[in-house]
């Protein structure tokens, strides 16, 4: 989804997605996988833009946007 004034950001995201697909295809023969991440985490930047979506669950259920819950997956994929 694009935003006004964000052509550079959108182009970069599209480029990363395409590069990941090409790398996955090229490296498959060596049994190497390629991953691209677009994680969502509650930060000072995202809270202001996505306040409703990023708010902490009031019922104590799993908090998908807590950076502590996002980081382990990123580390695992990078290992």
Each residue of 39-76: pLDDT tens digit? 788 888 787 778 788 888 889 899 888 989 888 888 88
pLDDT at 8 over 70: yes
Q: First vs last Cα of the chain: how many Å apart?
A: 30
Predicted local distance difference test score (pLDDT) of residue 52: 82
Residue 68: C-alpha distances to residues 12, 61, 64, 72 (Å): 26, 15, 9, 7
d(CA 43, CA 45): 5
**What is the residue extent of each domain of the chain?**
1-36, 37-79
Residue 29's pLDDT band (cuts 50, 70, 90): very high
**Burial class of residue 36, CB neighbours in 10 A (0-12, 13-18, 19+):** middle
Tell me what pLDDT residue 2 has: 64
Which residues have CB under 8 Å from 69's CB, separation 6+?
Answer: 62, 63
Looking at residue 71, what is its pLDDT? 86
């Amino acid at each position: 989804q694009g935003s006004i004034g964000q052509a550079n950001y959108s182009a970069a995201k599209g480029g990363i997605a395409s590069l990941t697909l090409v790398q996955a295809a090229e490296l498959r023969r060596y049994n190497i996988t390629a991953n691209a991440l677009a994680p969502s985490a509650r930060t000072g930047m995202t809270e202001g833009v996505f306040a409703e979506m990023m708010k902490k669950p009031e019922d104590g259920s799993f908090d998908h946007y807590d950076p502590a819950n996002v980081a382990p997956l990123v580390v695992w994929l990078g290992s």
